[in-house]
Amino acid sequence: MKPDYKNWMPKGMIFGGLAITLVFLILFILFGCTGIVGGAWKTVLFIVLLLLTVIAGVITVWMALLYRAFSYDGKRQMSKQIIEGVASYVSVPDGGMILDVGCGSGALAIACAKHNPNAEVIGIDRWGKEYASFSRQLCERNARAEKVNNTKFQHGDAVKLDFDDETFDAVTSNYVYHNIPSRDRQTILLETLRVLKKGGTFALHDIFSKSKYGDMQAFVKKLKDMGYEKVELIDTTDKFMKNWEPVWMELSGSALLVGRK
């Protein structure tokens, strides 16, 4: 039995982009290249529809390339490199507890379980329609395929975690928080840190752009002022991924590592 971790770029998005591109192309041919519309309107439609067709086509190609790059079965296996990179930071005592927020198909939770065979790993996710191919059942099947028996998967919400303060020795997450609709993702990070034990580790990999998270350097300073012993914002472009190309630079993101006294 082989695990199936799916792909971080859903096929549905690629097919949707392809459909939109074809629609714009048909409209471009009908209204920009034939005599259905004449005069100035034809010129305007020619330019506008051509631009829309090109933009939609470029985005579709970009998504297709991402799908290929993130494939677990592909040549580059970026997803596997990222998962293993994040999991390598997580080491807890025997009997410890690890929380993976937004576990998706279970990849990071299972990797952490392998690195910490005597710990309990809980993966939570809301498994929304955006990633319909991901589910709790898929996570459980993947754990069985990897012969991992120290994982548990359940529904959960990163905005309000259903756990007491200082429950976990480590908390992990990968490419999740930037997808959560919020004007203040730093507050969501603080909610995650609430369930971390003193001396624990929070290893988060995400796209830490200013538009998504605000000033992360200021947030790092804020955490240090709050008493967190070690706070690092690590550029993972070269650290986790090999043969990383400039086109993926925004998606490479950074890892936020936090340890508390």
pLDDT per residue as tens digits for the range 168-207: 999 999 989 988 888 899 999 999 999 999 888 888 888 8
Whether residues 98 and 66 share a domain: the answer is no
Helices (H), ranges, 76-228: 78-87, 107-115, 136-145, 185-194, 210-213, 216-225
3 state SS of 181:
coil
Residue 5 domain flag: no
For 92-104, write each residue's pLDDT tens digit: 999 999 999 999 9
Query: What sign results for the dihedral spanned by CA atoms 167, 171, 173, 177?
Result: positive
Residue 198 domain flag: yes
Which is more confident, 130 or 182? Answer: 182
pLDDT at 257: 64
Which is more confident, 119 or 252? Answer: 119
Whether residues 64 and 127 share a domain: the answer is no
Give me the percent of the chain exceeding a pLDDT of 90: 51
Last residue of a domain, one of 70, 90, 120: 70
Please check the confidence at residue 251 and state whether its pLDDT lies above 60: no
CATH of the domain at 243: 3.40.50.150
Whether residues 56 and 129 share a domain: the answer is no
Q: If we measure between CA atoms, which residue out of 153, 170, 158, 199 comes closest to residue 97?
A: 170
What residue numbers bound the domain in which 226 lies?
79-260
Q: If we measure between CA atoms, which residue out of 192, 179, 172, 202 comes closest to residue 110?
A: 172
Please check the confidence at residue 258 and state whether its pLDDT lies above 80: no
How far, in Å, CA of 64 to CA of 56, rounded? 12
What type of residue sits at position 72?
Answer: Y
**Average pLDDT of the segment spanning 5-31:** 92
* Range 120-146 burial, b when 16+ CB lie within 10 A, else e: bbbbbbebeeebeebbbebbebbbeeb
Whether residues 23 and 119 share a domain: the answer is no
Residue 6 domain flag: no
